[in-house]
């Protein structure tokens, strides 16, 4: 397809619009003497489970209006200074003008705090929602929250869902950074500010085609006037103690809503790694055995500041500004490596030690601006978004190795310095238009995104000589990427059926240039990405759904860099400028029973997936890790989920997945033979959420995660098991809370990864500080009892609706 045709396709898609039939609720809030109450809190909650739908505050005359409410059963309640009106049940089928909501008078203005009864985990039709606000896991960082999210696997510091790398979103805005950069960002953002995490395994057309599964982090947000704030901190005891401190502030007027957060997390972490390589000769026999012990100590003080600002210009126009600044300056990384080399008779042949000290600085600044205009047509709106990210990373490594013979006598020295720097700028612009259409809705939008990355690596100050490291490997790598996208989707609901059809088109124009290699890798293509979602509900207890989506995995700029990072001169990682995009097709078939039991069968054809592969060179005695396109990749499985209240004080969430994974790749150190790595595995997650006191202020959590063998590039891991316990207690009428959590109590959460095929035989086992105890605290000040955007009405009020 030529470019003119591509732009015509994009322009055609932008002519469509979206949203469903909605209504509005108007009313007034008064006291018992019929006096108007200004700035009262008005909440609209779903009747079935009391999840938050909408909220507002009354004006100076006590009047309020709630717009764009979809047809359903709801509860409506007003409150002021902690005193609430009787919840009113509403069946929304058209616009409603209520009489007055009456808030009774009280001589005691202390708020009657309503304890939320919602489940900690919810499974919706198209996603899983992990509600963490006020839970024990929120006492850690946002990274800790994601580690505890059901179905999410942390593999080599990478967030994965069903074996695929997950894309992180913050308030439905993409965080466009690498895995390590995302971790640095999220570790500096306190989990106390997180409302929920949404796990979207097969995203619809409005999301970028390369996103794959999505983890959307939803932050807390005040909806009523006033100021409130909090301070929080934690102490984590692992091998080394770690500390965190954060403060959050919410301020809201009639038009302005502001959230500000700052956190600092001084920490010292140790990671021990055991690595083994059996080098094999042409006869298939082991002739050299390498046993390596790594000890890595990282010291850092990451800091993070965030501001989220919402401002209503008038009844139809609003703007949102979200900004984040993350600093992780003056980091240090100390690596000590001890290597023993044995001959075929398992006799010591030689040894060497490597000391590597690295200094790192990372700065990440992101700004996101959104403008929303609600059109005259009810439910129709137009929005514009602009985003800018600037990332600056520097590292300086000094590496020195000393070699000895089998008797311990000195043989030689080798060492060098490497100086690396990377500057990245990401700019995106997006426009979306939505409107009702008959009994359904349509939505469409366009997006332009650009990435500019400049990287350089300089080797210097060599001591001795090596066959694998030399000054000529210094390089400058420039990567520029532009993606032009448009999408359209149509939603239709009738009787027992619901259908959503979507199509997204993306035009990619990218080039990566290595000055040392005098080589340029280009990507210039247009591809369509269809998506289908069909839901059939024959009764309230049963529902069936099917969804399909096509996606793309583009090479990341870090993966295209041909730079080498050395653990020692015989063990290194390197980029691959020859990577190309891969396309996948994802199919899911779901069945839901009574809203509590979920069955999900999936199949995924990953195509020529980009995988992390490791190859040992049996001639030069090296181990090289790189990204490479495989020749074929697929996975399939069945998931079973239970989300159910067992007893009034006990909510259970259980998730089990039985799966098969396989990847076929070229074994470049084995004569470029094709080899298929495959594994059958089981993943299980069991969470028990307990209310341990009658007033709901004392809660507990017991979770267990099990993962059998799974595929990681050319490696296959063994099983791992994690048991976590936690307790949380609210104090001083919910003004403060304390918590304690212990992780990896059985010390079984550290797998071994082994790559064993043809003439390859190597393994490694990394031992981070997975076992720890964390003590956390939170103290609220200001008008801290202001409800947030996900608070619920007590279960007794929900029962009233069921009796009507």
Q: What is the pLDDT of residue 405?
A: 93
Residue 358 has pLDDT above 80, yes or no: yes
Q: What is the pLDDT of residue 803?
A: 33
155-172 pLDDT, tens digit per residue, is 666 788 877 888 888 888
- Taking 90 as the threshold, does the pLDDT of residue 5 lie above it? no
Binning pLDDT at 50, 70 and 90, where does residue 67 land? confident
pLDDT for residue 84: 75
Average pLDDT over residues 506-534: 90
- For the chain, the maximum distance between any two Cα atoms, rounded to a whole number of angstroms, is 97
Rounded mean pLDDT of 413-441?
91
Cβ-based burial of 427 (10 A; exposed 0-12, middle 13-18, buried ≥19): middle
Does 13 have pLDDT greater than 60? no
Strand order in the sheet with 153-155: 153-155, 158-161, 164-165
Q: For the chain, what is the total number of helices (H) and then of strands (E)?
A: 5, 49
**Which range, 122-136, 402-416, 435-449, 591-605, has the best average confidence (pLDDT)?**
402-416
Mean pLDDT over 771-786 rounds to 78
Looking at residue 8, its pLDDT comes to 39
Residue 276 has what pLDDT? 95
Provide the pairing of β-strand 715-717 with 720-731: unpaired
Task: Please give the pLDDT value at position 221.
Answer: 66
Mean pLDDT of 668-692: 91
Among 7-16, 192-201, 791-800, the minimum mean pLDDT is found in 791-800
Distance, in Å, from the CA atom of 283 to the CA atom of 657, rounded to the nearest integer, reads 41
> Cα–Cα distance between 213 and 197 in angstroms, integer?
13
**Buried/exposed 371-409: b ≥16 CB within 10 Å, e otherwise:** ebebeeebbbbbbebebebebebbbebebbbbbeeeeee
Report yes or no: 767 and 748 within 8 Å, Cβ to Cβ. no
Reported in sequence order, the residue ranges of 187-316 that DSSP labels E, i.e. its strands, are: 194-200, 214-219, 226-237, 241-252, 256-264, 267-280, 286-300, 303-312
Predicted pLDDT at 535 = 87
Give Cα 624 to chain centroid, integer Å.
Answer: 29
Give SS3 for 424. strand
How many CB atoms are closer than 10 A to CB 648?
A: 9
Is residue 134 pLDDT above 90, yes or no?
no
At residue 528, the pLDDT reads 96
Share of the chain above pLDDT 90, in %: 40
Residue-wise burial string across 36-56, b where 16 or more C-beta atoms lie within 10 A, e elsewhere: bbebbbbbbbebeebbbbbbb
The reported pLDDT for the residue numbered 120 is 58
pLDDT confidence of residue 530: 95
Token digits of residue 471: 């000054």
789 has pLDDT over 60: no
Residue with tokens 């202390």: 110
Write down the pLDDT at residue 180.
62
Tens-place pLDDT, residues 559-613: 888 888 888 889 999 888 889 999 999 999 989 888 788 899 999 999 999 998 9
What is the rounded end-to-end Cα distance, in angstroms, of the chain? 60
pLDDT surpassing 80 at residue 438: no
Neighbours of 729 (CB within 10 A): 15
For the stretch 690-725, pLDDT in tens is 889 888 789 888 999 999 988 988 999 999 999 999
Check whether 246 has a pLDDT greater than 80: yes
User: SS3 for 741-785, per residue?
Assistant: EEECCCCECCCCEEEEECCEEEEEEEECCCCEEEEEEEEEEECCC
The pLDDT-based confidence of 450 (bands split at 50, 70, 90) is: very high
- Indicate the average pLDDT of the chain: 84
In the predicted model, is pLDDT for residue 16 greater than 90? no
**Residue 19: what pLDDT?**
38
Query: What pLDDT shows up at residue 794?
Result: 35
Q: Determine which of 9-13, 78-82, 355-359 has the lowest per-residue pLDDT on average.
A: 9-13
Q: CB of 755 within 8 A of CB of 675? A: no
Token output for 342: 């044995």
Judged by average pLDDT, the poorest of 35-49, 234-248, 749-763 is 35-49
């Amino acid at each position: 397809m030529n470019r003119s045709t591509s732009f015509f396709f994009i322009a055609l898609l932008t002519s469509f619009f979206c949203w469903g039939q909605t209504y509005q609720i108007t009313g007034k809030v008064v006291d018992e003497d019929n006096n108007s109450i200004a700035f009262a809190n008005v909440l609209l909650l779903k009747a079935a489970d009391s999840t938050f739908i909408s909220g507002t505050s009354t004006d100076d005359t006590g009047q309020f209006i709630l717009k764009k409410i979809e047809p359903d059963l709801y509860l409506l309640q007003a409150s002021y200074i902690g005193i609430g009106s009787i919840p009113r049940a509403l069946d929304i089928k058209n616009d409603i003008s209520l009489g007055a909501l009456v808030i009774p008078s009280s001589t005691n203005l202390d708020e009657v705090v309503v304890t939320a009864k919602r489940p900690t985990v919810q499974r919706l039709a198209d996603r899983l929602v992990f509600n963490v606000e006020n839970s024990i896991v929120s006492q850690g960082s946002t990274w800790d929250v994601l580690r505890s999210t059901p179905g999410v696997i942390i593999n080599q510091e990478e967030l994965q869902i069903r074996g695929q790398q997950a894309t992180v979103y913050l308030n439905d805005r993409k965080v466009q950074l690498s895995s390590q950069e995302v971790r640095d960002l999220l570790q500096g953002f306190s989990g106390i500010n997180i409302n929920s995490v949404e796990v979207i395994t097969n995203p619809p057309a409005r999301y970028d085609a390369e996103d794959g599964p999505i983890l959307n982090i939803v932050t807390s947000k005040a909806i009523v006037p006033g100021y409130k704030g909090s301070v929080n901190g934690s102490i984590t005891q692992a091998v080394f103690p770690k500390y965190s401190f954060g403060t959050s502030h919410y301020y809201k007027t009639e038009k302005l809503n502001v959230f500000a957060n700052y956190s600092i997390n001084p920490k010292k972490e140790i990671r021990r790694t055991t690595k083994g390589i059996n080098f094999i000769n042409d006869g298939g026999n082991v002739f050299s055995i390498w046993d390596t012990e790594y000890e890595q100590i990282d010291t850092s003080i990451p800091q993070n500041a965030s501001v989220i600002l919402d401002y209503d210009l008038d009844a139809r126009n609003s703007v949102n500004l979200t900004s984040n600044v993350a600093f992780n300056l003056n980091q240090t990384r100390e690596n000590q490596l001890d290597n023993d080399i044995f001959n075929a008779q398992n006799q010591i042949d030689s040894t060497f030690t490597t000391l590597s000290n690295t200094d790192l600085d990372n700065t990440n600044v992101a700004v996101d601006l959104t403008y929303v205009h609600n059109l005259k047509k009810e439910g129709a709106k137009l929005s514009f978004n602009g985003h800018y990210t600037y990332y600056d990373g520097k590292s300086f490594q000094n590496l020195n190795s000393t070699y000895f013979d089998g008797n311990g006598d000195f043989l030689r020295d080798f060492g060098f310095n490497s100086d690396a720097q990377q500057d990245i700028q990401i700019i995106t612009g997006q426009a979306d238009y939505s409107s009702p259409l008959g009994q359904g809705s349509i939505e469409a939008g366009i997006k332009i995104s650009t990435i500019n990355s400049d990287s350089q690596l300089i080797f210097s100050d060599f001591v001795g000589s090596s066959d694998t490291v030399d000054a000529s490997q210094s390089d400058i790598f420039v990567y520029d990427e532009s993606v032009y996208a448009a999408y359209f989707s149509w939603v239709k609901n009738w009787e027992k059926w619901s259908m959503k059809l979507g199509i997204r088109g993306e035009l990619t124009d990218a080039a990566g240039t290595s000055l040392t290699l005098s080589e340029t890798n280009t990507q210039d293509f247009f591809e369509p990405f269809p998506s289908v979602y069909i839901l059939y509900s024959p009764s309230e207890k049963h529902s069936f759904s099917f969804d399909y989506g096509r996606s793309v995995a583009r090479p990341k700029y870090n993966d295209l860099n041909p730079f080498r990072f050395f653990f020692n001169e015989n063990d290194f990682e390197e980029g691959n400028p020859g990577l190309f995009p891969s396309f996948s097709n994802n199919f899911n078939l779901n069945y839901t029973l009574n809203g509590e039991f979920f069955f999900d069968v999936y199949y995924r054809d990953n195509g020529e997936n980009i995988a992390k592969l490791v190859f040992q060179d049996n001639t030069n005695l090296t181990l090289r890790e790189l990204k490479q396109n495989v020749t074929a990749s697929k996975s399939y499985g069945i998931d079973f989920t239970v989300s159910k209240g067992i007893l009034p004080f006990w909510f259970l969430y259980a998730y089990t997945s039985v799966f098969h994974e396989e990847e076929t790749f070229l074994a470049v150190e084995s004569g470029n033979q094709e080899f298929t790595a495959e594994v059958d595995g089981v993943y299980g997650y069991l969470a028990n959420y307990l209310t341990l006191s009658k007033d709901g202020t004392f809660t507990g959590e017991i979770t267990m995660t099990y993962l059998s063998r799974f595929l990681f590039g050319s490696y296959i891991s063994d099983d791992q098991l994690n048991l976590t316990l936690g307790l949380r207690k609210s104090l001083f009428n919910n003004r403060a809370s304390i918590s304690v959590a212990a992780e990896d109590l059985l010390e079984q959460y550290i797998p071994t990864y082994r790559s064993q095929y043809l003439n390859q035989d190597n393994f490694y086992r990394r031992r981070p500080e997975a076992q720890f105890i964390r003590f956390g605290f939170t103290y609220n000040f200001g008008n801290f009892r202001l409800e947030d955007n996900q608070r619920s009405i007590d279960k007794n009020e929900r029962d009233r609706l069921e009796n009507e």
